[in-house]
Amino acid sequence: MKKNLFICFSVVLLILNFVVASAAQTVNVSKKAADQPVKIIKKPVVQFGRCSQSSGITKLRVTFDKSAKITDAKVIQTSGCEDFDKNALKAALGIKFKPAIKNGEAVTVTKPVEYTFRVM
């Protein structure tokens, strides 16, 4: 009986951890004046994973291809939580966007993207 109660409590705690972490996430895409704008349509939520820290920022370099697909994403600064970094990469590959336009044509641009988490 105690074992079942412990398992139920652990599952509820794990679910609560994901809900709080997902709600506290933010995503930033650099908007420098010299950069061509990329219109983000959908930014996937990153699964929190198992981390011992209460907050962190994963910085990525993401290539927004003219074909409206993410063609590359690399971690350029880790959050210190390997699970969150891996999940941030997966989420970045799922970003939906409209490509930047230059001289009336779609162009490929590479931009920094940040995923932030904090446990409340």
CA 41 to CA 29: how far, in whole Å?
Answer: 12
Residues in CB range of 87: below 8 A, 6 or more apart: 46, 47, 48, 49
Predicted confidence at residue 89, as pLDDT, reads 93
Condensed to tens digits (0 to 9), the pLDDT of residues 26-53 reads 445 554 434 457 777 766 666 566 777 7
Report d(CA 88, CA 98) in Å as an integer.
Answer: 20
Tell me: the pLDDT tens digits for 50-88?
777 778 899 999 999 999 999 999 999 999 888 889 889
β pairing state of 26-29 and 70-77: unpaired
Q: For residue 89, give every residue at least 6 positions away whose Cβ sits within 8 Å of its Cβ, in sequence order, or none.
A: 60, 73, 74, 75
Task: Give the predicted TM-score (pTM) of the model.
Answer: 0.63
- Looking at the structure of the chain, the number of domains it has is 1
CATH code (residue 97): 3.30.2420.10
Can you tell me the distance from the alpha carbon of 39 to that of 36, in angstroms, rounded to the nearest whole number?
Answer: 10
**Residue-range definition of the domain harbouring residue 98:** 2-118
Residue from 64, 68, 1 nearest 30 by CA:
64
